[in-house]
Every structure is written in structure tokens, then in C-alpha cells.
Structure 1
Amino acid sequence: MTAEQVSQAPAVAPGRAGAPAQGRTEYVEGPGGWVPLGVRVVRFGRSARERIGRAWATVRAVVTPAGWLVVLWAIAGLVIGLVFGWGEFLIGSAVAFILLLLATPFLVGREAYEVDFTLQHDAVVAGQDAHGAIAVRSGRSRLALPGRIDIPVGDGLIDFHVPLLRRGNEHREQLVIPARKRGIIDVGPATTTRTDPLHLLQREFRWAEIRTLYIHPVTIAVPSTSIGFIRDLEGSTTRTVTSEDISFHAVREYAPGDAQRHIHWKSTAKVGSLMVRQFEETRRSTISLVLDLDEGSYANEDEFEMAVSAVGSLGVRALRDGRDVRAVVSGEVPEFARSSVRALRQLKVTTPRALLNDLAGVASGSDVADLPAITRMLSEVSADTSLAFLVTGSEASLARLQSAALAFPADVAVAAVVCDPQSEPSIHPIGHTRVLTIGLLGDLRQLLAKRARV
């Protein structure tokens, strides 16, 4: 098996703050197989489409719909006039080219406005509104004519009118940005548009910077993750026997290479041969959160949003408890290569804010690795997991959950959180895995508290 380590940005638009989340992709076939080549072709095609799209967007930003009609008439008139020798079409084409030429000088020069745009907060919780302010000043011109300011907000647009401004005057507007759904959106830049009298060409002036607004998932306070699942504060003992640790297990005969400081002299005197201490390996409590992004695991979008909120609630609680936390999601895998490619992406867990920022951008899809593949990769690349939460939806079968849980070693506690609004909250075991079914996000707090009392 060969593996390719790659860095992936979160599944959001480019230009985000912070380092990109780390991902890992593994090819079951050798590096010369057709699957790696196919994956590279898909990525190259996506990159080419993005570049062509940016170039086309630049042209569209300059030429208005009326301008496109004039361009079309200029080209068609020139072709028809030259082919058929019709002078009228040649004259019409010449007039169209002259109009485009005369419109060009209106795009030259500097804008009379100076615009400042600020966001009050760059992160809000889904369901709340974000607030901002914009200030427009007339700094250079003696008189700035009325105009319009446009502020892109994701795929939408906020615009407002600017009145006549004398030099040094300022006009301020308070903005309210609805943040109904979780996501990461770009706000800005504020733009003003200059155009010619016939509105054939236009030029946008951009002010300030693009502000990134993180709309975090809704989270709730849950009981400490150290209660009910992991009860010690410093570390949990495992079944692995080692010669270097603090939790005494037994004694055994001395073997070459054993440290002399671990010789148990009382047992040596009793048995008549060197005996050394053995210890149970202890590990710091590391919590792994696995979010299933396969849209086939969820009956609807509400289930997926509940799953994202559950991961956020568990992660924030664990980080505030001072736990080592690892959060992973399904990595992108082309449909034709799902049987031979595995991929996962790690979310940033340095702080609760960093985790929620990354969760704001995750999205479900059909071209992602399934849950059992993710847990197998996680257990292979990380051996320090002591507690794992697998978060998925109601369409994930119990057999699939059990297969995902069996990827972890036997000494790892595994809990599956199934988001199903149509079911009553419950907790029941499947083998060594505890399945927590929640109908509402608040059920997660109740079930964890119930488990803590057991």
C-alpha cells in the first residue's frame, strides 16, 4: 500500500485565515495504477475550471449586458459586411466599435469616495445576525455626486444609496447580515461602480478588504467527557504491558536489556534469579471525534446539522476540560475510486474557536470516504486514542457502525452518536460500542449525564 500526504484547505471558499487543515489520502493500489492518475486528472480539471471561471468573471465585470449586445453587433456586422459586401452592416459595425471606444475614457480616473467597512464580530452562531458598519467620505473632490455602494455577502448583495457629499462630509450606515445557516461567507469588499452614459462598460472600485464571517454551529453545554467514559485525570491504564511506566502490574524473569533499576530484589531473593517489574502502559486521555460526511448516512439536512452541532459540543467540552482532542471528517474521494482510495481530513483543535471555525465549513456529499474507512485510517495513523465518538445520521446501518467501531483497538472506548429526530433518545450497547440516539441536540446532554450516573 502506498500513501500520499496532502494538505487540504477546509471545504469552503479560498482565502480563509489560519493554516489549512491537514488531510491524508491513501491509495490501495500501487503508485503506477490508474486510480492515482484518475484522481490527479480530476483535480487538474477542477483547477482549470476555476481559473477559466475567474478570467470569465473579470470580463463579465467590465462589460454590461448592453455592452455585450454592442460587441455582438460589431462582430456580426463586420463579418456580414465583409462576406456579402453590404456597406450598411460595415457602417453599423464601425459605429458599434466607436461607441465602445468612446465608453472607455469613462473608466479612467479615481473614485470620489473613500469607503471603510467593518464587521462588529467575525463569528456568530447560526440563527443570529451579524452587524457591521460602513462609512463613506468625500475626501478628494469638492463635490461627490450621489451614488450606490454594493457589499457582496456570500452569494447575495447588500446595496444602499449614498447622498450628495461635500468635501470632508461623511455618510454612515449600519448593516445587519442575516446568519440563518451555518457556513463561512465572504463579506465585501464594498464596491462602487463607474459607467459611461450608455452603460456599455463599467468599472468597479473596491474598498477595504474581504471580511470572513464564520457562522458557527449551534452548540450546547454537555457534561465533562471525563465522567462516565474516562474517570482518571492524568491518564488511563491499558492492557498493554511495558517495562517503563508508573502502574505496577507484575514481576517476571530478567531478560538481557532490562533496566537494572526495575529489578525487584525481594522477589529475586525469594526465587533465586533476577526478577524485574512489569507495568501497565498508561496513556493520556485522547478523545477522537469522527464526523461522517457521507450524505447517504442522513435522511435530511437537519440531521446533518445536528451531527455537526454534536461534534462541536463534544469538542468544545473536551478542549475546556484540557483533553487532547482529535477531530476528523471524511476526505474527498472521487466516485469511481471509492473502493480503492481512503481519505480523511483533520480539523484544527488548538482552541474551541478554531474547531468551530472549521466545523462552520464542513459539508456533506456523495464523493467522500465512508465511516468504516475513516476509522481504519484514524486507528492506523494514531495509536493514542482512548475514547472515540462516531457521529452520524439515522440512515447509517448498525452493521456499518459496528464495522467502524471494530477498527479501534479493544482498549479504546467507542460511542456512536446517531442523530435521528424521529426516534426517542436512548442509549444501548452493540457489542463493546455504546450507541446514543438523539432526537434533539439537548438529548446529548441528558444521555451523557445519565451515563455519568451509571
Structure 2
Amino acid sequence: MGNTTRTQVSGASGGRWVSLGLATLRLGRRIRSSTRRTGGVLAAVVTPAGWLAAAWALAGLTVGLVWGWSELLISGLIALILLVIAVPFLVGKESYEVDFGLGHDAVVAGQDAAGEIVVRNPHSRLALPGRIDIPVGEGLIDFHVPLLRRGHEHREKIVIPAARRGVIDVGPATTARSDPLRLLTREFHWADVSTLFIHPVTIAIPSTSMGFIRDLEGRATKTITNEDISFHAVREYARGDAQRQIHWKSTAKTGTLMVRQFEETRRSTISAVLDLNVESYATETEFEMAVSAVGSLGVRALRDGRDVQVLVSGEVPEFARASVRSLRQLRVTTPRALLDDLSGVEASGAVIGLPTVTRMLADSTSDTSLAFLVTGSTATLTQLQSAALAFPAEVAVAAVICDPESEPSVHSVGRMRLLSLGVLDDLRQLLARGASR
């Protein structure tokens, strides 16, 4: 139920004045509201050149009539006539039909995205020349539409530079109708908005060098179970054990029922953790290389049919970092879904550190068999070791350091292997070298 305001006025004589005052107040509010709406319409219709012409007309007519300056009077009249002539160009509905589409809704960083706009005149009358504007992120693409006869159309190819990874909105297309001098303009918005994903650059990693664990069926763990495929040992029979697990040869030798024990086998799961802490990267180039490295690892794992998860830290306000932790898992249903999500990740100073991220990952799941920690050149060895120690001892950990100033190298630091990338292509060689050790 909404709020209700009740006003009571007492006294006959005073009441009339109060009622008049209230009516005046309401009238003033209506006038202010109408003035704001009119001002908004004028701001959208009158161009800077139009405001200049209107000011010149007002000044010229005023000075010419008051002081008798015929030159200013004539120039003011001309400016006024030009404004009056411009009005018919804006009258009527939009005479265009606009179709806009992108050739592809995803491109790789460094490639240009192509699109096409088709402007049609479905009406029986002529469609006057106009202009179409297309917002592209924070930029704008505009082009001129010529005079169109009935049933004719105008096609325009557009090219959207995609130099940097990201997610940008393209559209809606806006048609602008104006007079030849562009004193007045009128815009019509078309509702179609397209999202363009600019994917990170990725490289092809051979499946034979995908990490340091080569098993396809799974890996044996130190967890002992009664049923699996990796034989461990035999023990005495206990109530509840399945009879099919009885080891008869050992039973015959010992004279006691003995059953098989197995090491639990888990399918290999690759966890790729992308460090989003801006302090871990010396330059933006390092961060872009890190995103590309994660994309390359994830796409290769998905195409090989591996279980993979890609994780980044979520943003947390500075005042809450002592008590709040945030972890975000990117979509890994398909390579396209992963690359779409990677298109939108950005480094930030308001995220939790890499060691905290790996502790959250280790606490939330025990399926990880190989962890890639991808970061920049300013991440310290202490931070990386702390992040690696969050995982159980049976998890292989590789830290990928993106540093364009370094030579490609791979070496072990305790239980962790450090892979230093000078360029993205080094990742292929270093993974193959690490897998062969």
C-alpha cells in the first residue's frame, strides 16, 4: 500500500488564500516539470550549431529592432529563417528500417571484427539522407546514409578493432535525421545490442605434453579402499567384507580368510588458478600472457576430455579481506565458454592473494591431481611456495611465471616446479620438458 498524504484547510477567509497558495505551488511544479522535459527535448534536438544560430537570431533581431542596426537585423532574420527551414526535416516517423549484425560474435585479440548494416526504405516516399551511429564500447562508429527511393537499401560494412581482450557491447544503432546545415537533429534508437567477445590469444599444446601426469584412466592415491583396480595388499577378513574380494591363495597359506585391499583411483583433475592480484604483474603484457596461458591449458584439457577447473579470486572490499574470502570458478563446459569468461577477467587490487585462493580450492575439493598456478614476475617465491603447500602432498604443482624479460626455463623448488615464460610459445616447450622428467 502506497503512502497517502492528506491536507486539511480550516477557516473560510484564510482557507481561500491557502488554497490559492497550494494551487500556485502545484502550478509551479508542473511548470518546472514541463520546463525540464522541454529542455531535455531541446538538448536532444538542437545541435551546437543550432544553439549558435538561435543565439545569433535573438541577438540580431533584438539589437536590430532596438538600435536600428539593419545589418544585424538582416543576419538575425536569416538565422531565424534557417532554423524554421530546418524544422520540416525532422517531421514524421523514421523512414528507415535498420538491420545490424556482426559476422562473428567472438574474435581473437589482435583481429578485427567485421559487421554489416543494412538500411532499407520500405515506404512509398523518399527517405531523406541521414546518419547512423553505432556505439562500440566507449567509442562510436558513424556513417552517412544517402537518399533512398522506395524499396531501395544501403549496405555498409563496418570494422571493429579488437586489439585487446575484452567484452564489449555493440549497439544499439541510432539513426539521426538532420537538416543540411545540421542545425537540428532527431535520433531514433534501434533496440538490437550485440555482445562481442574478444578472446585471449591461445596456442596449441600437444596432448602428450599436457602436464606432468599422463594417466588417462585415473591416478592411484594413498587412500585404501575395498574395491578398485589398483591392488595394494591383503588383510584378514572382517565382518561386512564382500566374499568376492577373498584372496584364496593367501587364505590357503595362512589358514585364515584374507581379502584384497586396493588403492583408491581417482580421475586426474587439472586445476588452473589465475592470479588476479594486480601487484603480481609488472606490466599489462604480463597479465595478458597469464590469461592466454590459462586459456591454452584449459582448452587443451577440454579437447583431451580431461576433467579441468579454472579458478580466479573474486573481488573483496579492503575492509572485509580479513574475514571474507571469494573464489570464482569459470565455465569449462566447452572451450568457447571458457574463453568467453576469460575475455572478461581483469587484474585488480581488491582481490585475495594466490595462497588464500589455493587454500580455498584445497578445502573445497580433493579431486585436484595437477595444479597450475599462473602469475606474473613480481609474485615472490615465498607466496608461490605458500600457495603450493595448500595442496596435499600427492598433488603435482606447477607455477607458471609470465615474465617477458626472462629466458624460458623450468626447474624444481621443493615439491613445486617453476616454469618461466618469456613469450607464450614457451609454454609448449616447457610443458613437454617437464612431462619428460
- TM-score class normalised by the smaller sequence: 0.7 to 0.9
Please state whether the residue corresponding to 1:312 is helix, strand or coil. helix
Alpha-carbon distance in 2 for matches of 1:121, 1:109:
35
Question: Structure 2 vs 1, CA of residues 192 and 66 (structure 1 numbering), >3 Å: closer, same or farther?
Answer: closer
Q: Please name the residue that 2:321 is paired with.
A: 338
Decide which of 382, 386, 399 is 2:382's aligned counterpart. Answer: 399
Q: Which residue of 2 aligns with 1:118?
A: 101
Structure with more relative contact order (C-alpha pairs < 8 Å, separation 6 or more): 1
Aligned 8 A contact 1:63 1:201 in 2:
no
- Matched AA of 1:157: L
Q: What does residue 139 of structure 2 align with?
A: 156
In 2, distance between residues paired with 1:65 and 1:193?
Answer: 10
Match of 2:415 among 429, 432, 450: 432
Question: Any conservation in 1 of the 2:45–2:184 contact (CA below 8 Å)?
Answer: no
Q: What's 1:412 paired with?
A: 395
RMSD: 2.7
Give the deviation of 1:292 after TM superposition. Answer: 0.5
Q: Given that residues 307 and 391 in structure 1 are in contact (C-alpha distance below 8 angstroms), is that contact kept between their aligned partners in structure 2?
A: yes
Query: Is 2:403–2:420's contact at 8 Å kept on the other side of the alignment?
Result: yes
Question: Residues 423 and 65 from structure 1, CA distance in 2 versus in 1: closer, same or farther, beyond 3 angstroms?
Answer: farther
- Per-residue deviation at 1:62? 8.0
The aligned residue for residue 148 of structure 2 is 165
For residues 40-439 of structure 1, what are the structure 2 equivalents within 5 Å? Answer: 63-64=43-44, 110-193=93-176, 204-207=187-190, 209-224=192-207, 229-439=212-422
Query: Which residue pairs with 2:19 in the alignment?
Result: none
1:142 positional shift: 0.4
* 1:67 positional shift: 8.9
Q: 8 Å contact 1:114–1:137 — kept in the other structure?
A: yes
Q: Could you give the per-residue CA deviations for residues 289-308 of structure 1, whole angstroms, max 9, x where no partner exists?
A: 10000001101100000000
Q: Distance in 2 between matches of 1:227 and 1:364?
A: 26
Q: Which amino acid aligns with 1:296?
A: E
Structure with the larger strand share: 1
User: Quick one: which amino acid aligns to residue 262 of structure 2?
Assistant: F
The answer as to whether partners of 1:246 and 1:279 remain within 8 angstroms in 2 is yes
- Determine the C-alpha separation between the residues in 2 that align with 1:223 and 1:282: 25
The amino acid that maps onto 2:361 is: L
**C-alpha separation in 2, matches of 1:132 and 1:197:** 28
Q: How much has 1:453 moved relative to structure 2?
A: 3.1
For the 8 Å contact 2:292–2:424, the answer to whether it is kept is yes
Distance change >3 Å, CA 225–CA 407, structure 1 → 2: farther
Superposed structure 1 runs of 4+ greater than 4 Å apart: 59-62, 65-70, 103-109, 194-203, 225-228
Counterpart of 1:143 in 2: which secondary structure? coil
Distance, in Å, in 1 between the alignment partners of 2:241 and 2:399 is 41
Q: Paired residue for 1:441?
A: 424
Deviations 1:245-271 (A, max 9, x none): 111100112233322221222222322
TM-score, normalised on structure 2? 0.78
Structure 2: gaps (5+ residues): 1-38, 52-85
Q: Is the 8 A contact 1:297 1:395 kept in 2?
A: yes
Give the secondary structure class of the aligned counterpart of 1:166.
Answer: coil
Residue 108 of structure 1 and its aligned partner are, at CA, apart by 8.2
Inter-partner Cα distance in structure 2 for 1:259 and 1:216: 53
Q: CA deviation at 1:172?
A: 0.6
Q: Which residue type is aligned with residue 418 of structure 2?
A: V
Using a 3 Å threshold, how does the CA distance of structure 1 residues 248 and 146 change in structure 2: closer, same or farther? same
Distance 1:238 1:323 in 2: 18
Q: 1:105/1:322 Cα in 2 relative to 1: closer, same or farther (>3 Å)?
A: same
Distance 1:227 1:293 in 2: 24
Q: What CA distance in whole angstroms lies between the structure 2 residues aligned with 1:62 and 1:181?
A: 38
Instruction: Indicate the structure (1 or 2) with the bigger Cα radius of gyration.
Output: 2
Contact 1:290 1:328 in 2 (8 A): yes
Amino acid of the structure 2 residue aligned with 1:235: G
Paired residues of 2:129 and 2:177 also in contact (CA < 8 A): no
Query: Using the alignment, how far apart are the partners of 2:294 and 2:41 within structure 1?
Result: 41
Counterparts of 1:250 and 1:60 in 2: how far apart (Å)?
A: 83
**Residues 209 and 432, structure 2, Cα contact 8 Å, conserved in 1:** no
Q: Which residue of 2 aligns with 1:34?
A: none
Specify the code of the residue in structure 2 equivalent to 1:443: D
Is contact 1:135-1:172 (8 Å) kept? yes
Which one-letter code corresponds to 2:105 in the other structure? Answer: D
Structure 1 residues 170 and 267 mapped into 2: Cα distance closer, same or farther (>3 Å)?
A: same
Partner SS for 1:325: strand
Shift in CA distance, 240/108, structure 1 to aligned 2, threshold 3 Å: farther
Per-residue displacement from partner, 1:155-191 (whole Å, max 9, x unpaired)? Answer: 1000000011111111111111110000011111211
Q: 1:298–1:60: structure 2 CA closer, same or farther, 3 Å change rule?
A: farther
- Check whether the contact 2:210–2:300 (CA below 8 A) recurs between aligned residues: no
Q: 1:12 aligns to what?
A: none
Q: 1:120 to 1:60 in 2, by over 3 A?
A: farther
Contact in 1 for aligned 2:277/2:353 (Cα 8 Å):
yes
Could you tell me which runs of 5 or more consecutive residues in structure 1 were left unpaired when the two chains were aligned: 1-58, 71-102
Check whether the contact 2:213–2:435 (CA below 8 A) recurs between aligned residues. no
Question: Which residue identity lines up with residue 411 of structure 2 in the other structure?
Answer: H
What is the alpha-carbon distance in structure 2 between the residues aligned to residue 287 and residue 151 of structure 1? 42
Sort the Cα spacing of 1:126 and 1:67 in 2 relative to 1 into closer, same or farther, 3 A: closer
| Compared CA separation, residues 389 and 66, structure 1 to 2 (3 A) | same
- What's the offset of the Cα at 1:242? 1.2
